[in-house]
Chain A
Amino acid sequence: MEWFALERWSPYTVGFGIGLLSWISFLLSDKALGCSTAFTRTSGMVERLIRGAKVRKKLYYQKFPPVIEWEWMVVVGIVIGAFISARLSGSFEWQWVPGKWAAAFGDGSIKRTCFALLGGFFMGVGARWAGGCTSGHGISGTLQLAVSSWVAAACFFIGGIGTAFVVYKVLG
């Protein structure tokens, strides 16, 4: 049990575990592990609450209907799993501004949240534009040796590294 209370595990142990999880989800659920489609479904649910049933007519929501399914439950599960892990190690902590951000841009929570909103917006657009995220393309797609996923994952990191350098070395 002590092992579960550790704050960090080796990245190789964690990676191996995620690899095993991919076998299980292919075997038991015929699914590749992913996350970003669940965000599309959720935004469809929220839009339906605001604008009514006509939202269903949107082409993209016909492709990915705003319903709860396997992947949506995965995304809910991630919050619970991370919470359990953080509580077991005593690292759970309410925090507005991460340390590295605070060191470069100050500990203002409004500034950090605005940037997170902006980053999230680009990420939401980009994930659906590319048809997947760091899980769906970056892990599940690359392990199937899908060409689309290797290309997308390379672009995630090219864009991410470039942007992080601009944010920290130019603006910071």
Chain B
Amino acid sequence: MFEEIRNRKNLQLLFGLLTGIAFGFLLQKGGVTRYDVIIGQLLLEDFTVVKVMLTAVVTGMVGIHFLESLGAVHLHPKPGSVGSSVVGGVIFGVGFGILGYCPGTVMGAVGQGNLDALFGGVTGILIGTAAFASAYPKLERTVLHKGDFGDVTLPLLLKVNQWLVVIPAAMLLGLVLIFLERVGF
């Protein structure tokens, strides 16, 4: 049933738009489209961003693995390596700390009227992605595959049933959230 829907191109464009509208609505309601909230998180003063992300991860993780065990969805883990995930991750982090939005929330910030997000953030990200595209052939040959670990997931890495990771991980992340509330963040 879903295969048929997934292959209908124009319907998927509409689904994308609707998914984005719901995502943007939620991000704005959560306050995470605001520069002050994101910088507050990075300065460890306001834990809204972490609370939103961890709740989404726990909810998504349990649901997706359940649907996967029914054969209703396929996982799409991304490949990674030290040269790509660590180096790229830190470069992203530097941008995160200066810009105070991320590629999703910067669009939400535009939607709520933030002009620095539009003229600075979006423009800067586009220039950055274009610069990366130009440097890609060279980076691909040199750094991107250093210390490759492929598209492995934690259950595959540990060679255990997925639920043996999903359940403890969900409990651990839940405890982190309870801890954050307890200490008053």
Residues of A at the B interface (CB closer than 8 Å) are 6, 8-9, 11-12, 14-33, 35-36, 39-40, 42-44, 46-47, 58-61, 68-86, 89, 91-101, 109, 112-168
For the complex, would chain B's binding face be called helix, strand, loop or mixed by DSSP majority? helix
**Tier of interface size on chain B:** 35 or more
Q: Within B65-110, which residues are at the interface with A (CB < 8 Å)?
A: 67, 72-81, 84-100, 102-110
A45 to B100, CA, bound (A): 26
26 interchain pairs, CB-CB under 8 A: A11-B31, A12-B51, A25-B19, A27-B67, A28-B15, A69-B13, A82-B111, A85-B29, A86-B112, A92-B113, A96-B116, A98-B34, A99-B36, A118-B124, A123-B128, A124-B128, A124-B132, A127-B88, A128-B129, A147-B149, A149-B80, A152-B88, A158-B89, A158-B93, A159-B96, A161-B97
Most chain B beta carbons < 10 A, residue from A11, A43, A98, A130? A11
Residues of B at the A interface (CB closer than 8 Å) are 2, 5-6, 12-36, 39-40, 42-44, 48, 51-61, 63-64, 67, 72-81, 84-100, 102-117, 119-134, 136-137, 139-140, 144, 149, 151-155, 157, 162, 165-166, 169, 177
> Nearest residue in A to B126 (C-beta to C-beta)?
A43
A128 to B99, CA, bound (A): 16
Interface pair A139/B96, CB less than 8 Å apart: no
> Nearest residue in A to B33 (C-beta to C-beta)?
A82
A110 to B107, CA, bound (A): 20
**B138, chain A: closest CB distance, angstroms:** 10
Kindly list chain A residues whose C-beta atoms are within 8 Å of the C-beta of B31: 8, 11
Most chain A beta carbons < 10 A, residue from B56, B144, B152, B154? B56
> Nearest residue in A to B6 (C-beta to C-beta)?
A30
Kindly list chain A residues whose C-beta atoms are within 8 Å of the C-beta of B137: 59-60
Interface pair B28/A123, CB less than 8 Å apart: no
Q: Known contacts being A35-B103, A127-B125, A147-B80, is A11 close to B51, with CB within 8 Å? A: yes
Our count of residue pairs bridging A and B at CB distance below 8 angstroms stands at 543
Interface pair A78/B108, CB less than 8 Å apart: yes
**A47, chain B: closest CB distance, angstroms:** 6
Checking B55, B97, B111 against A160 with a beta-carbon cut-off of 8 angstroms, the contacting residue is B97
A157 to B50, CA, bound (A): 10
11 more A-B contacts (CB under 8 A) besides A26-B74, A116-B100?
A: A14-B30, A15-B55, A44-B130, A70-B16, A78-B24, A82-B24, A85-B29, A116-B119, A120-B125, A124-B129, A161-B42
Q: Known contacts being A58-B134, A86-B112, is A19 close to B85, with CB within 8 Å? A: no
Q: Known contacts being A86-B28, A100-B39, is A43 close to B133, with CB within 8 Å? A: yes
Interface pair A68/B13, CB less than 8 Å apart: yes
**A7, chain B: closest CB distance, angstroms:** 8
Q: Known contacts being A8-B29, A58-B133, A117-B123, is A143 close to B84, with CB within 8 Å? A: no
Interface pair A36/B89, CB less than 8 Å apart: no
Checking B12, B92, B111 against A122 with a beta-carbon cut-off of 8 angstroms, the contacting residue is B92
